[in-house]
Amino acid sequence: MSAFDVRDLLRAAGGSAAVRVTGFDAPAPPEAMPPAEVLAPPMSAPAMSSVVLIGCVRLAEFALIATLGLAMHQAVLAGLVPLGFRYAGAVLGIAGLATLLFQFAGTYRIGAFRGFGKTALRLAASWSLVFLLAAAVLVFAKLADQYSRIWLGSFYAAGLVLLLAERFVLSRVIGAQMRQGRFDRRTAVVGGGPLAEDLIRALETQSDSGIRIVGVFDDRGDDRASTVVGGYPKLGSVTDLVAYARTTRLDLVVFTLPIAAEDRMLQMLAKLWVLPIDIRLSAQATKLRLRPRAYSYLGDVPVLDVFDKPMADWDIVAKNVFDRVVGLLALVGLAPVMLAVALAVRLTSSGPVLFRQKRYGFNNELIEVFKFRSMYADRGDAAAAKLVTKDDPRVTPVGRFIRKTSLDELPQLFNVVKGELSLVGPRPHALQAKAANTLYDQVVDGYFARHKVKPGITGWAQINGWRGETDTSEKLQRRVEHDLYYIENWSVLFDIRILLATPLALFRTKNAY
């Protein structure tokens, strides 16, 4: 959730939620200045979440230790002492205590994964402490005679070797990934002058902050702002920053504007909030001194949170797993229905069964979605320049039925399995879709904020009656409002609720032609 309400932000910037805000007219970059995408560091490999990686390593090491303990019992005590609850409980206890002490020892950090020497010492010390504590518990609880000392010693020795070998391999893998920039947070600095230079110097003194500055963006002309700030080039205005974030990976924007520049900052935020990135305000840029808990930190540099990505880290993992698993199950379960629709389309009109259409996906990326063809092949409208209306002569009789029941959307399950769409999310609109003869993004300000998450086959707007024809700006406005509500309140349970409500919503076909 963001620190500010989006609608309040837009009103403060001088706009209205129902009409398009023209926004701040940023000065164009000088003609001699190359475009941002030329000056910026080359695009790195896709990002990896350090939070997810740390969680996976922690879980993997717990499983590794537990498996080793059971394997050592089988190797040392098979046929002599049954496994039973006693040994199984000891194995799980040692595995849990080990991961806990590894955490306290600081071995679950990206820096610890990359380096091997210091981490190996901490790991060995923590592993030894685990067995010293286990031995102490067995002695004081008078249980020592109930466990094999040979098994315990073998478990310790084999575990130490295995854990050190695992961490050595991990250090090589993570080191290679870090050299490719997989864990970098690609960061743009907004604003110039001494405040921006101070922030850049503070970030560069921290080798393990994970911040990689791509450049500086400033709406002021060159007569007021230098073309190089803290050793980084000025890449353009905030308008250029929006275009840059659409074409290359950008994870974070940090404002270095003083609080006195409130109006200017709001104008910039009204442009940037549509992007799926984190936005922060440098605490060095304000004279306010808050309690340490009020800040978040980039390394040791304090910042104030303005906007957060709607989904990050484990949220993305949960969403993707849910989509792929449920999408694949739905694809298998609905295969007979899809086959019947395909035959009906094929037998009642000439042309291909499937219709492919370019639409905007996550972060305005162009994707090609699949649908069952509902129009006559020679009257298709791939760009959706003209909305389908009631009794539209371009729609076939079968097409009219499958459009009303949304059966034409079922092939988009293939897009879900491919990872291009989600089961639930804002519906992807065609490139030239219009409301009241005006392109969607020119009707509703902040329209592209819908693309901060993957689009979906169904969504909150659809089950609330805002599906089908958008012949007025009011209908589009209501749809966008529902989409933004979904984005701000997403959860897996919310997705399940929408999926369960979708079949009932299909009976409301008032606007579906």
- Please tell me the predicted confidence (pLDDT) of residue 28: 37
* Residue 367 scores a pLDDT above 50: yes
Three-state DSSP string of 300-348 = CEEEEEEECCCCCCHHHHHHHHHHHHHHHHHHHHCHHHHHHHHHHHHHH
pLDDT in tens, 241-297: 988 988 888 999 998 887 667 778 888 888 888 889 999 988 876 666 666 677 788
Q: Which two tokens stand for residue 34?
A: 């190359």
| 118 shares a domain with 167 | yes
Q: Does residue 350 form part of some domain?
A: yes
Residue 230: which region, alpha, beta or left (left: phi > 0; alpha: psi -120 to 50)?
A: left
SS3 of 411, please? coil
Q: Are 453 and 362 in contact (CB under 8 A)?
A: yes
**Around 150, how many Cα atoms within 13 Å sit in the side-chain half-sphere?**
8
| 200 shares a domain with 100 | no
Phi, psi at 326, each rounded to 5° = -65, -35
* Least-confidence region, from 147-151, 156-160, 208-212: 208-212
* Least-confidence region, from 78-87, 214-223, 313-322: 214-223
Rounded mean pLDDT, 8-13:
47
- Please tell me the predicted confidence (pLDDT) of residue 118: 92
Q: Does residue 1 form part of some domain?
A: no
Amino acid at 122: R
| 341 shares a domain with 438 | yes
Last residue of a domain, one of 140, 158, 179: 179
Last residue of a domain, one of 283, 307, 331: 307
Arithmetic mean of pLDDT over the chain? 83
- Please tell me the predicted confidence (pLDDT) of residue 167: 96
SS3 of 16, please? strand
Q: Are 309 and 490 in contact (CB under 8 A)?
A: no
| 438 shares a domain with 325 | yes
Q: Does residue 92 form part of some domain?
A: yes
| 281 shares a domain with 374 | no
Last residue of a domain, one of 292, 307, 322: 307
pLDDT in tens, 423-469: 999 988 877 776 766 777 777 777 888 889 999 999 998 888 877 66
Q: Does residue 112 form part of some domain?
A: yes
Q: Does residue 511 form part of some domain?
A: no
| 164 shares a domain with 121 | yes
CATH of the domain at 26: 3.40.50.20
Phi, psi at 89, each rounded to 5° = -65, -40
| 450 shares a domain with 412 | yes
Closest listed residue to residue 224, CA positions, set 270, 261, 254, 188: 261
* Residue 7 scores a pLDDT above 60: no
111 falls in which pLDDT band (50, 70, 90)?
confident
Q: Which two tokens stand for residue 71?
A: 């394997």
| 463 shares a domain with 363 | yes
Phi, psi at 359, each rounded to 5° = -140, 165
Q: Does residue 510 form part of some domain?
A: no
Q: Does residue 478 form part of some domain?
A: yes
| 233 shares a domain with 122 | no
| 484 shares a domain with 369 | yes
Relative orientation angle of helices 262-272 and 238-247, to the nearest 10 degrees: 20
Total structural domains within the chain: 3
| 213 shares a domain with 122 | no
Range of the domain at 205: 6-44+184-307
pLDDT in tens, 178-198: 888 888 889 999 987 888 888
| 349 shares a domain with 320 | yes
* Rounded distance between C-alpha atoms, residue 12 and residue 85, angstroms: 64
Q: Does residue 276 form part of some domain?
A: yes
Phi, psi at 64, each rounded to 5° = -65, -45
